[in-house]
Amino acid sequence: MDSRKAAVAVNLPLYNERQALEQVIPTLLGELRGRRHTICVVDGGSSDGTQDYVRRLAQAGASIVLLERPKPGPGCHRGDASRAGLEWLVANTDATVFVDLDGDGSQPPGELSHGVDLVASQRCDVVVASKYVAGAVAPGRPLVRRFASFVYNALVRAIAGTSLRDHSNTYRFYNRRAAELALSFAPLHTGPLYMLEMLLHWVDGGLAIVEVPTRYGPRLGGDSKVGAGDLVAGFWGAVRVAAAFRLTHLRRRCPG
């Protein structure tokens, strides 16, 4: 099929990202020009004018909706917001390609067309913008963050037994089958670990997943919502999620 005819749904969870949004949204709208699309901004109770900015865009005619979903507690609730946005998009659009994108600018919206075209071509079910395949770059990323991410992904890959290189980047493109599968299970986590649960459910479901190189840059404004406690909990939580996935796989291969 002509990939330009595919309806695209962009899931954009954020919290206090007004400064970055002023660069992210115009680029995103440029990438989506000529495509039927809906952008769903899931806001966690921003106090920096983010909501007003999104409302003005909608009033000006942009195909963008705002879901106001105050954070349920301290820490990063990326997973809870992502699932809420995906539920709305699946229920309220006829999109055939879905995109998960951070609102802080670290994941370049300028790469959107390539990922959407790959999924729309029906050559795969899921595309992961990967930091760990040939051609990927991460300019300006601190060495400590690089090392922690490398160890995290190596552990998850070794424990879960997948062939994927990047389990942590949440910049992803996927078809409606994958979207519905992502909503078919009860998540154990409301933070970033939900995104790992989602990815491993796709692997478990036998979906065709490909990785493409990305340019993972520094955030364009605001502060990171992931604190030290989130990092520690995320590290050990990922080990548990990966181990549970591997155990389930082994039981299915060796029933009884």
Domain membership of residue 104 as a residue range: 3-253
**Spatial distance between the Cα atoms of 167 and 187, rounded to a whole number of angstroms:** 17
Q: Is the pTM of this model over 0.75?
A: yes
Residue labelled with tokens 């729309």: 120
Number of independent structural domains in the chain? 1
- For 14-23, 91-100, 108-117, 235-244, which range has the lowest pLDDT when averaged over its residues? 235-244
* Residues 148 and 231 sit within 8 Å (Cβ to Cβ): yes
E-strand stretches of the chain: 8-14, 37-43, 64-68, 97-100, 126-130, 172-175, 209-213
For residue 253, is pLDDT > 70?
A: no
Which is more confident, 96 or 243? 96
DSSP 209: E
Provide the pLDDT for residue 76: 61
**What does the pLDDT look like over 33-57, one tens digit per residue?**
999 999 999 998 899 999 999 999 9
Task: Assign residue 196 the CATH number of its domain.
Answer: 3.90.550.10
Q: What is the pLDDT of residue 250?
A: 46
Q: CA 222 to CA 56: how far, in whole Å? A: 21
CA 131 to chain centre: 14
Q: Which residues contact 199 (CB under 8 A, 6 or more apart)?
A: 128, 164, 167, 172, 209
Beta bridge partners of 210: 127
Residue 251 has pLDDT above 50, yes or no: no
Q: Has residue 2 got a pLDDT over 90?
A: no
